Amino acid sequence: AKAQGKNTFAIYQEQMSQHVSARLQMEKHLRNALSNNEMYLCYQPKMEITTGKIIGVEALLRWRNPELGLVPPNVFIPIAEETRIILPISHWVVDQTVKQLKSWRNTPFQDLSIAINISSSQFSAEGFITNLATKMQEADVPNRLLEIELTESTVMTNADTNIKLLRELRKLGFELAVDDFGTGYSSLSYLKRFPLSILKIDKSFIDGLPMDEEDISISEAILHLAHNLNVRVVAEGVETLKQLNFLEERQCEYIQGFVISKPLKSDDLEVWLTEHAEN
Ligand code: C2E
Ligand code: CA
Ligand code: CA
Ligand code: CA
């Protein structure tokens, strides 16, 4: 038994070191990802339910590395955050988004907004707001076309400091959305003080609609709360028409999900939007 125990530990150690080296490999690749042009954005359309119009898109980051293949953001973003590589990456995301908005000026897509995901280290970084506002101004794009998505946990950590930053962003005309709503701890009394425009109901509550009793209660409660606070609601991860109908009946304003479209590269998005507008 003793020999076996030792053996198990040896295997465990070996697996640990494999794990660590895989992680270090990924970190190394991640540091070079931008300069090697391995990152790009996909855009997922967001539809207004009552009109069927696409009113905006969410920018979602993609990383394709020659050795690692396509690495999901849920894997590389936490590593980028821990290592602070997220900061140059986030700047790049903002730059790309502003460029995209600028290229849509004086085209049929000029009223489309783009939502970007902001990590908590980016949000609390010195100069975040100034940088954003300067870039938008230089590109001559109205701030209302940029929507800032912050997760519930980013907003609720250091809530008092964050309220000031959020008010500043709102004053500049940026739209503010709380992402993954319902998954963190939200203090409802704080919610009232936040100058939000949009709540995004997390996919995990949409999945069980229209059957699961708990998901029904939670999504109805979020819609009710949001509407009382004059905040519009996006349901994310909507995959079926049954889910869509459920949300429409409860006056959810917008949906995003595979039932409308997957995230698309910008060329494909423009083709898709043109076809969607004709139908
Ligand atoms: P998120 O912000 O909650 O984004 C929604 C995720 O759900 C996206 O995954 C999207 O592709 C996926 N999705 C949308 N509709 C459906 C659907 O109908 N069914 C299913 N199964 N999935 C759907 P993705 O692109 O893998 O992104 C994962 C997360 O990575 C995002 O979650 C966001 O938290 C983070 N992320 C993505 N891009 C960025 C970025 O530029 N910066 C930062 N900080 N985080 C990002
Ligand atoms: Ca998001
Ligand atoms: Ca989300
Ligand atoms: Ca989510």
Tokens of 250: 């409860």
Q: How far is the CA of 138 from the centre of ligand 3 (A)?
A: 29
Cα atoms found within 13 Å of the Cα of residue 126, Cβ hemisphere only: 0
Using a CB cutoff of 8 Å and minimum separation of 24, what contacts does 192-198 make?
192/229, 193/163, 194/155, 194/163, 194/166, 195/166, 195/167, 195/170, 196/166, 196/229, 196/231, 197/147, 197/170, 197/231, 197/232, 198/147, 198/231, 198/232, 198/233, 198/234
- Residue 106, Cβ density class (10 Å: 0-12 exposed, 13-18 middle, ≥19 buried): exposed
Determine what percent of the chain falls in helix, strand and coil, rounding each to the nearest 5. Answer: 50, 20, 30
Quote the DSSP letter at residue 145. Answer: G
Cβ–ligand 1 distance for 133 under 6 Å, the answer: no
Q: What is the pLDDT of residue 205?
A: 96
* C-alpha to C-alpha distance for 207 and 215, rounded to whole angstroms: 8
**Rounded mean pLDDT of 202-213?**
96
* pLDDT one-digit tens code per residue, 68-95: 999 999 999 999 999 999 999 999 999 9
* C-alpha to C-alpha distance for 253 and 50, rounded to whole angstroms: 7
Cβ–ligand 1 distance for 74 under 6 Å, the answer: yes
Q: What is the ipTM of this complex?
A: 0.97
Q: How far is the CA of 178 from the centre of ligand 1 (A)?
A: 14
Cβ–ligand 1 distance for 119 under 6 Å, the answer: yes
Read off the amino acid at residue 82. E
Cβ atoms of residues 178 and 155 within 8 Å? yes
* C-alpha to C-alpha distance for 65 and 158, rounded to whole angstroms: 36
Q: What is the pLDDT of residue 228?
A: 92
Cβ–ligand 1 distance for 257 under 6 Å, the answer: yes
Cβ–ligand 1 distance for 87 under 6 Å, the answer: no
Cβ atoms of residues 199 and 178 within 8 Å? yes
Cβ–ligand 1 distance for 72 under 6 Å, the answer: yes
Among protein residues, the one with the nearest Cα to ligand 1's atom 41 is: 61
Q: How far apart are the first and last CA of the chain?
A: 70
User: 10 Å Cβ neighbour count for 16?
Assistant: 10
**Rounded mean pLDDT of 131-143?**
98
Q: By mean pLDDT, which of 8-12, 102-106, 147-151, 210-214 is the weakest?
A: 8-12
* pLDDT one-digit tens code per residue, 229-274: 999 999 999 999 999 999 999 999 999 999 999 999 999 999 999 9
Q: What is the pLDDT of residue 4?
A: 59
Q: What is the pLDDT of residue 93?
A: 98
* C-alpha to C-alpha distance for 72 and 255, rounded to whole angstroms: 23
**Rounded mean pLDDT of 129-154?**
96
Cβ–ligand 1 distance for 152 under 6 Å, the answer: no
Probe ligand 1: pick from 30, 40, 44, 60, max atoms within 8 Å of CB? 60
